[in-house]
Amino acid sequence: MSIVLLDDNTISKISAGEIIENPASVVKELLENSIDAGAKNITVEVKNSPTDFIRITDDGCGFKADEIELAFMRHSTSKLSKIEDLEELTTLGFRGEALASISSIAKIRLLTKNSEDLAGTSTKIENGKIIEQSNVGMPHGSTFYVEDIFYNTPVRKKFLRADNVEFNLIFDVIQKIALGNPQVSISYIRDGKTLLNSYKNSNYKNHILNVLGREIATNLIENSFSSENYKIRAYFSNNKLFRSSRNHQYIYINGRYVTNREISREIEKVYKSLIPLNRFPVFILFIDINSSLIDVNIHPKKHEVKLSNENNLIAILCEMVEEVLYPNRSIREIEDEPKVNLNVFDIFDDKSNDNLINFKEPTYEPSDNYIKEFDIDSQSFHENYQPFDVYEENLDNNNDIDNIEDKTEDSNYDNIPSLEQFQEDSFLNDKEVIDSNLINTRIVGILFDTFIILENKNKDLIYLVDQHAAHERVMYEKYKKQYLNSNINSQVLLKPEIIELNASEYMKIEKNFHLFKDLGFSIDSFGENSIILREVPMIFGFPTYVSFIRDIIDSLDDKIYSNYQADMWKVMKRACLKAVKAGDTLSNMEVKELINSLIHCENPYTCPHGRPTIIDIKKTTIAKLFLRE
């Protein structure tokens, strides 16, 4: 179809005021143009800084020589001629804004040849104007050279993020487009190194393996559905494959990558009892829908589409998940990973206790009696005690290092009664705080293998200590102190762990080897997109290394990618997720060690993520529940 200039009526209905936000936007628009042009082979090359040099070469139909100038005019397109064409739209682009937007903020050289032309055409464009044009010999197709992005808009260039972040955004765009277009071979080359090579492949499973890697591809289950309005090919992760974010959920509607929170949310509900809490399934959905049932003209970046009968589609997808997921459940394999023999005392009993903050070597002897009375150095505790309000003051105490939002693996805290559930005297009413000392406190027992119960008869109080939150706080402060003193003790693995990653994950961790080294890990490259883990910090015993490292990679997101200090605290917090969990049975000695260690923490009142470690309940509160007062 020839390029035409849209009329004002059509422009007013589809105009999005599209702008180029970053180099990834340039790559996305030109890649989609190449696919719309029928290209079967596309190469994206980036050199130096992301704004310096981008070259995209394809073997598509190319531009006719007499239409090149028109192509760079705003609202000129070959993909529709009137608004009604949107109802039968089969292309990725349609607004006619991309080339005009790119040429207004970057220097462009276009080499192109249409099969109807005898020779190709070389065109140089700056500030949206053609400044040079000549004939060249070349095969049919197009090559775009885009240089000095934002050279004439320094304010916009100033707000670009670090180069590593921008490179990651480019890779993310290419990977998503490549995954959704198995009929096209797409290569991505950065500074001479090929990071992605998605060969065109009619076998979807092999295509997924090529783009996303072996670990994901081998743990996906395929299902399909076909009706008058829908044709769906879907791949859902089994219960062994999950991630700590939604970054591995891919939805393609009529070949276009989109985001849809409702679809993601409903599919996640099906997985709710099959994968760990606060983990997300991996899935890839290729959905072809009757064009009359969707509207792609609702979002400037075309990331969202409006669906007619969306609930019907969601019901179909959820049924597809259930069909394949429940018959394919399996026991998670942990072979080649050390088995855990949990012993809290071993973790606390470290000879380098000088590194801890006001930590005193435990002096208690084990005893056969379940209920123990023990004294705690009230003077030492009083010196370190800071009154807290769980819901206000205390969350502000950690602003220096704990301002990164996170979630623990064990987050059943929502089941704990809130303040509003009790009237008058109850859990930490208003400004009530923990007593300034715990003299004559005794361990009464453990509730639900989760909450340690302490009794103080003199104060008519009982304390509930969350063993998971308390252990997290102890481990975090010990780990932090060792790091600040440059004295992290590491242990060499008897059998180093080789971890296969996809290209995106490898790029993240490659730039952060130094971060892991500073935190007591020994990680090296091991072939293409693989790493080898040789040492881990002793502080958190024997974690499941592969899942832990993947969690860290996911946590190194674009928001904090260039913030080295924030990255370190985030890794340390994730390490503390290996603390004892709700449901773990602790011995009497381990309970005593945990309480004593918690008291001598710099901030004993919350876990590293801001949740309370200890609350108190007055005797009068309990009496009122039995109508005794």
Do residues 569 and 613 share a domain?
no
233 found inside a domain: yes
- pLDDT confidence of residue 2: 65
Ramachandran category for residue 601: left, alpha or beta (phi over 0 → left; psi -120 to 50 → alpha): beta
373 found inside a domain: no
Do residues 35 and 180 share a domain?
yes
User: Cα separations (Å) of 617 from 199, 374, 411, 456?
Assistant: 64, 20, 21, 11
- pLDDT confidence of residue 388: 33
Average pLDDT of the chain is 76
3-state DSSP percent of the chain in helix, strand and coil, to 5: 35, 25, 45
Pick the last residue of a domain from 141, 176, 198: 198
Short-list 223, 409, 425, 193, CA closest to 328: 223
Do residues 148 and 230 share a domain?
no
- pLDDT confidence of residue 293: 80
Domain count of the fold of the chain? 4
Do residues 555 and 608 share a domain?
no
Do residues 280 and 231 share a domain?
yes
- pLDDT confidence of residue 18: 55
419 found inside a domain: no
Do residues 167 and 100 share a domain?
yes
555 found inside a domain: yes
377 found inside a domain: no
611 found inside a domain: yes
CATH of the domain at 286: 3.30.230.10
Do residues 448 and 545 share a domain?
no
DSSP state of 338: P
Pick the last residue of a domain from 139, 165, 198: 198
Per residue in 51-76, pLDDT (tens digit) is: 999 999 999 999 999 888 888 887 66
Do residues 182 and 237 share a domain?
no
Do residues 506 and 588 share a domain?
no
- pLDDT confidence of residue 156: 83
Beta bridge partners of 522: 535
- pLDDT confidence of residue 251: 96
Q: Could you please report the per-residue DSSP string of 196-224?
A: EEE---S-HHHHHHHHH-HHHHTTEEEEE
List the chain residues with pLDDT less than 70. Answer: 1-19, 75-96, 296-302, 327-440, 539-546, 555-578, 629
Strand segments, DSSP code E, in 477-546 are 490-500, 522-525, 530-537
- pLDDT confidence of residue 440: 66
Element (H, E) at 471: helix 467-484
Do residues 473 and 615 share a domain?
yes
Do residues 607 and 563 share a domain?
no
**Alpha helices for 59-159 (secondary structure H):** 68-71, 98-105, 154-158
- pLDDT confidence of residue 87: 54
466 found inside a domain: yes
- pLDDT confidence of residue 13: 38
Q: Which two tokens stand for residue 516?
A: 């892991």
CATH of the domain at 614: 3.30.1540.20
Domain that holds residue 309: 204-325
Pick the last residue of a domain from 299, 325, 351: 325
Per residue in 189-210, pLDDT (tens digit) is: 999 999 999 988 889 999 999 9
CATH of the domain at 506: 3.30.1370.100
Q: How many CA atoms lie within 13 A of 594 on its CB side?
A: 29
317 found inside a domain: yes
Do residues 149 and 235 share a domain?
no
